[in-house]
Structure 1
């Protein structure tokens, strides 16, 4: 039986936008029509399949609690979110914490600090600390993904809050987890990294605290953040693992830890989609896949 050109075109299109089959698209559309939305099933879908850009922001907003499960109240809640955004913005203007030349990401940081009662006195404003820089890195990446500033702020705020609340205790253990999986996949590379003193100096902050913001281009980063917003920080370990595996030949040729770390902080950007795809495969290999039906 001859191939159906129209069917092949549809398959190629859905694969390009993030679906491997029409059935996955239908499954997600059915989930998004539920009222109330089944957040657990949406989370499971996001863990099992990639989210295309046409649905990603909406799903993130639901998974992060920006929008409630009841879709008939989304418009009202969205209006409240916008009003709150404007109120915080005006408060910062009155307190002279911002002006027309303040970078948007720094505005988001001050808004976040004000809402969390961490805003410093204007007379005591100091250079950004490491935690602030983590927030700013995530903000810069989110700005490249989300056009609307209101949505952008709420996604940054809730992403950072959820990440720190759910995974704050786990983050210090991720380097050991990375070491374990590297010993399973490429023990010779692990030994090399140990012998050169590189293992202790790997850019764990960039990888695990900033969730690869500033390391991966946004097109690849979104697929990693799909998994983080749906409840997994372990995906970060496997992205780091795959980066090490993908560039092991380069790393074997570097004996100075500073050179290796500099390379890993500035990895080539053209192959990152393949790196993330292989990382997700490793994640499923070691951690399995969610068992909930979609």
Structure 2
């Protein structure tokens, strides 16, 4: 088993912060990426107190959202996370009935996936918040990923790319699901963690190679479909049992084409 297959995006940061025990990891989920954002104090002795403050802050904000009637009993947990984040970032709409922005939809998709990875709701919120903040650093790079996908697919399988163009499917691929959502809602948790490991470590280009490997893995099926709608429909809901192998091959492809730091982002 390779090193990549044994790790997930959370363990990288636990190790950077000096945490090794399983119980410590469980209780310190809240500290996942805040260390990268410079929010945590440098001394580990104060981390427990910071965690307590974070929990108190989280409860206070939820109470405020209930008072102004932005939270309701029928809301899902991921919707609660969204309202909390909107208030935290100064983007709470004037009314809870206002339609969601595209960035809100991305947040919800990521939050739903993260909810499956982190048990504690308070910890989960801070992990989501930090992950979304990391994605904002790729604001200029993410729109370029569909073109990079076309470039690398052409290198790996030009015939498959030609079929996508001929069937008019290239412009209708699920790019939002793949690149904006970072495959949240597309890959199962175990595979998603390995992809997000690369994303939070500094390379959003891993998303391109996952997309390339999805096409390569299901080449026979895709080549047999002649309409853009059928191809897109299949790619949005491809069989999950191949996800582990797809991600492993995508990581290998990432190393092949982006082996140096200068080309990894």
Q: TM-score when scaled to structure 2?
A: 0.86
**Corresponding residue number in structure 2 for 1:161:** 133
**Does the Cα contact within 8 Å between 1:68 and 1:74 map onto a contact in 2?**
yes
**Does the Cα contact within 8 Å between 2:109 and 2:184 map onto a contact in 1?**
yes
Instruction: Give the whole-Å Cα distance in 2 for the aligned partners of 1:18 and 1:205.
Output: 28
Instruction: Give the whole-Å Cα distance in 2 for the aligned partners of 1:77 and 1:101.
Output: 31
Compared CA separation, residues 69 and 249, structure 1 to 2 (3 A): farther
Instruction: Give the whole-Å Cα distance in 2 for the aligned partners of 1:167 and 1:91.
Output: 32
Matched, 1:280 2:251: yes
CA offsets 1:68-107 (integer angstroms, 9 cap, x no match): 5543332122122212211211110111111232111111
Instruction: Give the whole-Å Cα distance in 1 for the aligned partners of 2:251 and 2:168.
Output: 28
**Corresponding residue number in structure 1 for 2:204:** 233
Compared CA separation, residues 88 and 82, structure 1 to 2 (3 A): same
**Corresponding residue number in structure 2 for 1:83:** 56
**Which deviates more, 267-276 or 69-78?**
69-78
Identify which of 79, 102, 109 aligns with 1:137: 109
CA offsets 1:209-266 (integer angstroms, 9 cap, x no match): 0000000011110111111111111111111111111111111011100000010100
Matched, 1:200 2:176: no
SS at structure 2 position matched to 1:167: coil
Paired positions, count: 254
**Does the Cα contact within 8 Å between 1:67 and 1:78 map onto a contact in 2?**
no
Identify which of 200, 212, 218 aligns with 1:247: 218
**Does the Cα contact within 8 Å between 2:33 and 2:130 map onto a contact in 1?**
no
Compared CA separation, residues 288 and 68, structure 1 to 2 (3 A): farther
The equivalences for 1:61-210 within 5 A come to 62-63=35-36, 67-122=40-95, 125-164=97-136, 166-210=137-181
**Corresponding residue number in structure 1 for 2:240:** 269
**Corresponding residue number in structure 2 for 1:48:** none
Listed as ranges, the gaps of 5+ residues in structure 1 are 1-11, 20-24, 35-51
Q: TM-score when scaled to structure 1?
A: 0.78
